Amino acid sequence: SGGIPLTPTGTVQFRVFTSSANIPVEGATVIVRKQDPPYELLGLLVTDQSGQQRNVKLPAESDSGQQRV
């Protein structure tokens, strides 16, 4: 049964707001990278006028091992 192996992924959405007034921050840069060396860049995003950006698919942990992002 030679199917295509699936890579586990998850989806993340970032929202950026000011801390005191809870106002959305437009144009904020969000950098997503792996936590451990070599710190591979996984995404570079910019928030819209609602302080959000599109959903990002990231590698997820599988049952057989751990992967931190």
Over residues 26-63, the pLDDT tens digits come to: 999 999 888 888 989 988 899 999 999 888 888 876 65
Spell out the long-range contacts of 58-64 with Cβ–Cβ below 8 A and sequence spacing 24 or more. 58/9, 58/10, 58/11, 58/12, 58/32, 59/7, 59/8, 59/9, 59/10, 60/8, 60/9, 60/10, 61/8, 62/8
For the entire predicted model, the pTM comes to: 0.66
Question: What was the pLDDT predicted at 52?
Answer: 94
Confidence of residue 17 (pLDDT cuts 50, 70, 90): very high
Question: What was the pLDDT predicted at 35?
Answer: 85
